[in-house]
Amino acid sequence: MVDFALSDENRLVQESARAFAEAEILPHIREWDEKGEVHREVFGRMAELGFLGAPLPEQYGGGGMDYISFALLCEELERADTAFRVVQSVHVGLNSLALLQWGTDEQRRRWLVPQARGEKLATFGLTEPGVGTDAASLASTARRDGASYRLNGQKIWISLADVADHFLVFASVDRAKKARGITAFMLERGMKGLSTATLHGKLGIRAGNTGVINLDDVSVPEENRIGEEGEGFLIAMSAIDQGRYTVAAGAVGLAQACLDASLRYAHERQTFGQEIGRHQLVKQMLAKMAAGIEMGRLLVWRAGWLKNQGLRNTRETSLAKWHATDHAVQSALDAIQVHGANGYSNEFPVERYLRNSKAAVIYEGTSQLHTLIQADYALGYREDRPLRCEPWPADGFRRPASSPASAPSG
C-alpha cells in the first residue's frame, strides 16, 4: 500500500520546527545574514528541542525520530534560513549518523551520546583546497606512529569548522592506493596541531559558520579511528548519502519559502488595475514552483521510507538531491522575477533565498555529478554493493528479512 499521509508524530515535528523557526530565526535572520553573524546559542535551543539528535536511537541519547520526521524538520528549518538546516546536515547527517553506522559501541557512547544531546557540536572534514568531487584523491595524510597516527593536511569549506567540538576527518594512509588508502578519524578540539579558521566573503548562508581545518602533525590515538584502515572512502560516501538527504529536504523548504513569498507578493502587488497574480506568465512561474516542490517532497519521502527500513538509498537520495536543489535555485530566480525590482533588495527575503540556494547545487555532489550518477544507474554501469556496516533502521522499524543484513553491525 502507498500511503502519503503524515502520522501524528510527523505533524508534531513539523509544527514544532515551524514554531521554533518563527520564534527564534525569522525575527532576526535579515540582520544576522546582513552582518554575517553566527549565533551558537540558537543551536543550543535546537538541542533543547531534540533537533540535534533527531533521528538517532534513544539508546544513544537521540530523539528516535523516523526519517520522514527528520526530513520535515530539515524542510522547516531551511524554510526559515539555510544556515540552520546546515547544522542538521553536518552535525547529524554527516557526522552523527556516520558514527552510528560505522563506530563501535564504545565510540558511540564516547562521542555520539553527547552529540545527540547537543552537548557537543560536530562537523565533517572531507573537502580540501585541491579536492572536491574527486574525493579519492585526498592530499591529507595519516602516518602510523606506534599506537597512534600523525595527521597532516588541510580541509576547506567545512561547515561549523570554527564552532565544532568534534571533527570526523579523512586522510590517506597510502596515497598510491587512492580510495582504498583513505581512513576516517574522530578528532576533538584542543588536540595539539589542530586549528580552525573562518572563511569570509561568502555569497550566501552568511548566518552560518564555514571555515578551514588545519592538521599540523596531529597525534590521533588508534581508538579514534572510525572503521578499518582503508575503509574511510566507504564511510565518507555513506555519510554523504545521509547529508544529501538533509540537503534535499532542506531545498524543498527553500523552494517552499520562495513560493510563499511570491504568493503573498502576487496578491499584494497590483499592475494594470489588478493583482499581478492574475497575469498568466506570473501564474506560470508560481505553478512551476508548486509542481517542483511537490515532486521534490515525494522524492525525499521515498528515500526516507527506505532509510526507515535501513535499506540502501544512494540512487533515490541522489535523485532527490539533484531535483530539489536545482528546483530551489530556479524557484529563487523566479521569485525575484515575480517581485521585480523589489526582489533585488534585501528588503524582501527572496534576495537571500537566491544567494543561499546556490551552494546546494555544488556541495554534497554537484548537479553535474548527480546527472552522471543517475545515468550510470539507468545504464546499469553502477550497482550498490553490500557494506560491512549497513545503515541502521529508524527506531521502531526493522530491515526486511530479504535485505543483505538483518541487523545493525559495527
Active centre residues (catalytic): 364
> How far is residue 131's CA from residue 125's CA, in Å, rounded to a whole number?
12
- In contact, 384 and 376? CB cutoff 8 Å: no
The values of phi and psi at residue 54, to 5°, are -45, -60
**DSSP symbols for 67-111:** HHHHHHHHHHHHHH-HHHHHHIIIIIIIIIHHHHHHS-HHHIIII
Phi, psi angle pair for 280, to nearest 5°: -60, -40
Q: Terminus-to-terminus CA distance in the chain, angstroms?
A: 33
Determine the 3-state secondary structure of 152 from DSSP: strand
DSSP state of 131: B
Q: Give me the residue label for grid cell 497574480.
A: 277
d(CA 192, CA 326): 41
Q: Which of 328, 298, 366 is nearest to 205 (CA)?
A: 328
CB contact at 8 A, 300 and 224: no
Provide DSSP, 37-75: ---HHHHHHHHHTTGGGTTS-GGGT-----HHHHHHHHH
Cα 370 from chain centroid (whole Å): 16
